[in-house]
Amino acid sequence: MVSTDKAVNPTNVMGASKRLAEIYTQSLNGQESCETRFITTRFGNVLGSNGSVIPRFRSQIKNGGPITVTHPEITRYFMTIPEAVQLVLEAGTMGKGGEIFVFDMGKPIKIVDLAKKMIQLAGLEEGKDIDIVFSGLRPGEKLYEELLSSAELTQPTHHHKISIAKVLEYPYSEANVAISELLVINKHHDNLAVVQKMKQIIPEFLSKNSIYEDLDKTI
């Protein structure tokens, strides 16, 4: 299962849904007489993949701008497609089942610096040929992503770029019941009820800059 750094201390529904997927996948490994190895990988953004920032910036530059960045201080972790694929395959090979593998993403990069670099590589000049506009953080968006929560520890592996996250593990019976209840609630298309249930399952899910922040006061 391919997860994301947004699953750590999630602040939005996307990150919380990934954490739920981690919980369920990890719990599957605890079933009796299960011969399948259920393994999770957790890492940040992949350069050039669908939905990544580079194709968007490239399109904005092609159209004459402006380039939109949410915040001047926002940073993200990045790796290339070949790096991500290789590490996923490595994790699948070394995994015994039930692990959440965390990849070494290096140092985070300022998105505004990436935008400036792409302007330069296009042979243009910022402020003259094309502008950078700050649009504001989106609901639930973090300035800085995390690969591990403060309560988690990591265990090294023989691969210097892969470690194992030591997280709270949920028994399959408990995880299955909780997620089944969530799916039933979801059939009623009540977003507040759905998010409230997600917060009950994931105590560290605290909304940020979101309409769901009031729910955190009731959990």
Name residues whose C-beta falls within 8 Å of residue 35's C-beta, 6 or more positions apart in sequence.
none
Give the residue among 194, 208, 74, 51 at the shortest CA–CA distance from 139. 208
The DSSP-derived string for the chain is -B--GGGSS--SHHHHHHHHHHHHHHHHTTSTT--SPP-EEE--EETTSTT-HHHHHHHHHHTT-PEEES-TT-EE-EE-HHHHHHHHHHHHHH--SS-EEEE---S-EEHHHHHHHHHHHTT--BTTTB-EEE--PPTT--SS--SS-TT-EEEE-SSTTEEEEE-----HHHHHHHHHHHHHHHTTT-HHHHHHHHHHH-TT----SSTTGGGGGT-
Residue type, 126: E
> Which of the following is catalytic: 6, 18, 142, 197?
6
Is 6 annotated as catalytic? yes
Catalytic (active-site) positions: 6
